[in-house]
């Protein structure tokens, strides 16, 4: 056996360790992750897609289909200003940093340590029997060196940790995308609410004006004795009742404006002046893109996140399983030690050691195996959660399709109703002026017109809002083919 200066060469120990790592380094205990196969319908339920055509819109930029520059600008501003999105970005950076921590466990760890000290032993202490004449003298000690250790990942504990960290990092990116999908939808929904409220306020004010004209007509007819004071009182009540609706709608408008401002990362009230001028509710495209159910697994970030969390948890079974096997480390120290600074760098000051620590927990009272069982149970939970996420995504998509299609049909009927009621009001006013009908018919028709017009305006907003929710349910707002470029914004 190779010897040098009467001792075993450390090279033998190093080479033996490297040989073990080379021959057994391919062992990775624990199950290898396989993405589960989820059965999804080949097509959506017929009732869900009735009235929804196969459009050619790009799901990743669905808001462009509304052809509303203001909405496009608001969504762009939310990308850089929303605080929830910024928080999600920093979570990605945190996950990436923790991935680096996990990866560093497989690299040698090197530490520089040392100290210079001066000490003196007690002449009357435990060393009194060997105290020289005149007592102990103070001594200097200079001790500096480099220590290194390297865990040899024979059974894949570190590799499984890295695998889990990789999946967790990928999951954080999907969580960021999920926030992005929700953010774009929330901005669009708040914007539609603003425009819908403005339209409803305008209709209420127009009805107030028409009812005030009727009040004037009733007053004129009362002045010449053609009608009773009851007609005037009822007309006044009708005007006041319609006016009372306006503050409620203005409150809704203010709430929507404040919500929109916060989504953009701005203070409530910041958009009141910018969006003060009323504008129509964005019109949906003539045909809507509807992807196949199986596409949800690819497009929905929450589904992708659940799958990545399942992958990370599967890897943790291997981390726990590795504790059943021995662990090997290679460690050593190389330094200089001297009581005098003058000869500190002499060859005689050299000190070193090298070792191959081995740890094998051969009995733990069932702790390790129970930990493995716990990780397996968590993995089963993650699988169930993943499958539930897929089902919830399918449910949400079908529900929003039905809601959108039905609201479009309802809006069409309300349009017919408004047109018929407007015509009825023209007829009844003509008859009232001619004395062929009483004022109650006028009053009922005016109230009916206000109600139908308000329902139609609300339905227009609801139809567009349901379409936005459909785009969100389908996972619209980002491109799966685009490279992952997630960089945090400046904290300032």
Give me the CATH number covering residue 162. Answer: 1.20.1600.10
Domain count within the chain: 1
Tell me whether residue 17 is in a domain. no
Contacts of 153 (CB under 8 A, 6+ apart): 21, 25, 106, 159
State how far the Cα of 212 lies from the Cα of 238, in Å rounded to an integer. Answer: 9
Residue 396 lies in domain: 28-109+155-327+370-473
Tell me whether residue 482 is in a domain. no
pLDDT value at position 457?
96
Q: Which residue has the higher pLDDT, 473 or 42?
A: 473
State the pLDDT confidence band at 47, using cuts at 50, 70 and 90. Answer: low
Tell me whether residue 71 is in a domain. yes
pLDDT at 310 over 70: yes
pLDDT at 21 over 60: no
Average pLDDT over residues 304-331: 93
What pLDDT, in 10s, does the model give residues 247-260?
999 999 999 999 99
Q: Which residue has the higher pLDDT, 41 or 377?
A: 377
Average pLDDT over residues 407-427: 95
Least confident range of 190-194, 384-388, 483-487: 483-487
Contact, 160 vs 28, CB < 8 A?
A: yes
Tell me whether residue 221 is in a domain. yes
What pLDDT, in 10s, does the model give residues 446-465?
999 999 999 999 999 999 99
Distance (Å) of CA 396 to CA 97, 178, 435: 35, 15, 56
State how far the Cα of 473 lies from the Cα of 182, in Å rounded to an integer. Answer: 9
Contact, 446 vs 422, CB < 8 A?
A: no
State the pLDDT confidence band at 346, using cuts at 50, 70 and 90. Answer: confident
Tell me whether residue 384 is in a domain. yes
Backbone angles phi, psi at 261, to 5 degrees: -65, -45
State how far the Cα of 157 lies from the Cα of 164, in Å rounded to an integer. Answer: 11
Least confident range of 139-143, 187-191, 429-433: 139-143
State the pLDDT confidence band at 110, using cuts at 50, 70 and 90. Answer: confident
State how far the Cα of 192 lies from the Cα of 60, in Å rounded to an integer. Answer: 19
Tell me whether residue 359 is in a domain. no
Tell me whether residue 340 is in a domain. no
* DSSP reduced 3-state for 178: helix
What pLDDT, in 10s, does the model give residues 118-136?
887 777 777 777 778 877 7
Tell me whether residue 484 is in a domain. no
Distance (Å) of CA 42 to CA 118, 295, 404: 81, 10, 21
pLDDT at 149 over 80: yes
């Amino acid at each position: 056996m190779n010897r040098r200066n009467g001792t075993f060469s450390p090279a033998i120990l190093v080479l033996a360790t490297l040989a073990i790592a080379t021959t057994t380094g391919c062992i990775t205990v624990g199950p290898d992750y396989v993405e589960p196969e989820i059965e999804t319908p080949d097509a959506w339920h017929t009732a869900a897609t009735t009235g929804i055509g196969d459009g050619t819109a790009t799901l990743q930029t669905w808001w462009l289909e509304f052809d509303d520059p203001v909405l496009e600008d608001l969504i762009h501003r939310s990308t850089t200003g929303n605080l929830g999105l910024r928080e999600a970005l920093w979570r990605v950076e945190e996950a990436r940093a923790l991935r680096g921590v996990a990866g560093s466990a497989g690299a040698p760890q090197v530490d520089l340590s040392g100290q210079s000290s001066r000490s003196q032993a007690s002449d009357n202490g435990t060393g009194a029997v060997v105290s020289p004449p005149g007592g102990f003298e103070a001594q200097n000690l200079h001790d500096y060196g480099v220590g290194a250790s390297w865990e040899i990942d024979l059974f894949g504990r570190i590799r499984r940790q890295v695998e889990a960290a990789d999946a967790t990092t990928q999951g954080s990116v999907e969580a960021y995308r999920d926030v992005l999908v929700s953010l774009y939808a929330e901005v669009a929904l708040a914007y539609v609410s603003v425009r819908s409220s403005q339209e409803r306020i305008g209709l209420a004010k127009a009805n107030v004006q028409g009812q005030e004209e009727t009040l004037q007509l009733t007053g004129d007819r009362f002045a010449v004795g053609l009608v009773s004071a009851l007609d005037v009182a009822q007309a006044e009540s009708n005007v006041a009742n319609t006016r009372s609706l306006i503050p409620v709608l203005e409150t809704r408008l203010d709430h929507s404006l404040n919500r929109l401002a916060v989504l953009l990362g701005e203070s409530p009230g910041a958009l009141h002046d910018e969006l003060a001028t009323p504008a129509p509710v964005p019109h949906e495209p003539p045909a809507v893109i509807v992807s196949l159910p199986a596409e949800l697994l690819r497009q929905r970030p929450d589904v992708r996140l659940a799958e990545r969390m399942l992958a990370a948890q599967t890897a943790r079974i291997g981390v726990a399983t590795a504790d059943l096997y021995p662990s090997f480390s290679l460690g050593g120290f190389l330094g200089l030690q001297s009581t005098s600074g003058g000869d500190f760098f002499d060859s005689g000051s050299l000190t070193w050691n090298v070792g191959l620590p081995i740890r094998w927990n051969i009995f733990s009272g069932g702790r390790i195996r129970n930990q493995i069982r716990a990780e397996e149970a968590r993995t089963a939970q993650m699988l169930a959660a993943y499958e539930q996420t897929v089902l919830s995504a399918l449910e949400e998509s079908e529900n929003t399709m039905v809601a959108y299609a039905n609201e479009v049909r309802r809006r069409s009927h309300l349009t017919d109703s408004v047109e018929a009621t407007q015509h009825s009001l023209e007829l009844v006013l003509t008859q009232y002026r001619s004395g062929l009908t009483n004022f109650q018919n006028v009053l009922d028709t005016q109230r009916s017109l206000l109600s139908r017009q308000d329902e139609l305006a609300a339905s227009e907003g609801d139809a567009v809002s349901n379409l936005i929710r459909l785009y969100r349910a389908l996972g619209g707002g980002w491109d799966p083919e685009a490279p992952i470029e997630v960089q945090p914004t400046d904290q300032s």
